[in-house]
Structure 1
């Protein structure tokens, strides 16, 4: 069956809805690599959350201001030492972990400053990515939209890789959801058939 792929706007709204489903109303949220603050604005409008975005890109910070989102301009790779322990209910990093250098530090810091973390990322082991590599090319897709020479991504990892890292760091996987590029939930072999993965994490 040939499934229609989601447009970028549909994918953004879809991603936001998945994350919002895990965050109760009236919670405090920190969004790392928040871009123009669209996710926080969505959570504020649909879940009455309060919180901050963290972003390094100047133009994106201006986008947060336009979206009336409180934002702190800083480099996440340098850590979250400016935030006290358990100062938020949830910390989110949505499709930005692959662009970070200090992956282990970020994940452990997220669960220092909040009781739960929500992480989403493109699964590099998705079947169309494997097909591209088998054909001798670097994958370019809806979730990995950049050519190799211009990509901001510095980590290319899979669902299996991420779960192994969580185990190494003593991070509990509370819930996982994987979706194909048509936005359908994948339950069988998500490391092969899941284009985008979402995790709700806690401390063991």
Structure 2
């Protein structure tokens, strides 16, 4: 995915999207939660022919979805997804937005109610560079955690190990997990230390 050089912002966006797209078969029904301006869903529609909806609460982001030609529903996912029937979708996605949610357990449960599988990505707070920043007495600021502590929308700061434990507690099956460093390179050695961004493919345990 990369030649070892740091990715530009545009390349990084494609990298993030491409990792998720690899888990989405062509023509699927997809629900993208906290979809922002709809670029991921647009990418999936153009590259995989998916159909589906974005869900977003921000009025400005909803307008971005409209500009990107993405069908969007403006609701607060913290309150659940009662408007969607069980297994309405093949995949429900929440991409780098779970850390900004309060109702973490509820959202994960709802994703696996309305979809056959869930895809989750998030910045790993235990990443080596984040630990170094804290050791120096500061909250980390990076490409994956780009906000200063006083303006961040993030309300949950968790790690790969934390998320693994939560899935175990909730009876969620981790079907696949990937971690990448800041250069977009896959990490297999101690991902909780060396992985900056984590991606999960989740399902219900049998």
For the aligned pair, the TM-score class normalised by the smaller chain equals: over 0.9
- Alignment correspondent of 1:99: 100
Map 1:23-102 to 2 at 5 A. 23-102=24-103
CA RMSD of aligned residues (A): 0.6
Gaps of 5+ in 2: none
- Alignment correspondent of 2:184: 183
Q: Distance in 2 between matches of 1:197 and 1:189?
A: 12
Q: Distance in 1 between matches of 2:81 and 2:135?
A: 39
Q: Distance in 2 between matches of 1:177 and 1:144?
A: 18
Q: Distance in 2 between matches of 1:145 and 1:134?
A: 18
SS at 1:80's partner residue?
A: coil
Query: Deviations 1:16-48 (Å, cap 9, x if unpaired)?
Result: 000000000000000000000000000000000
TM-score when normalising by structure 1: 0.98
Q: Distance in 1 between matches of 2:7 and 2:194?
A: 16
TM-aligned CA deviation for residue 8 of structure 1: 1.6
Map 1:1-204 to 2 at 5 A. 3-204=4-205
Q: Distance in 2 between matches of 1:202 and 1:130?
A: 31
TM-aligned CA deviation for residue 5 of structure 1: 2.0
Q: Distance in 2 between matches of 1:181 and 1:118?
A: 20
TM-score when normalising by structure 2: 0.97
TM-aligned CA deviation for residue 7 of structure 1: 1.7
Gaps of 5+ in 1: none
SS at 1:129's partner residue?
A: helix
SS at 2:22's partner residue?
A: helix
Count the aligned residue pairs. Answer: 202
Q: Distance in 1 between matches of 2:62 and 2:95?
A: 16
Q: Distance in 2 between matches of 1:91 and 1:163?
A: 19
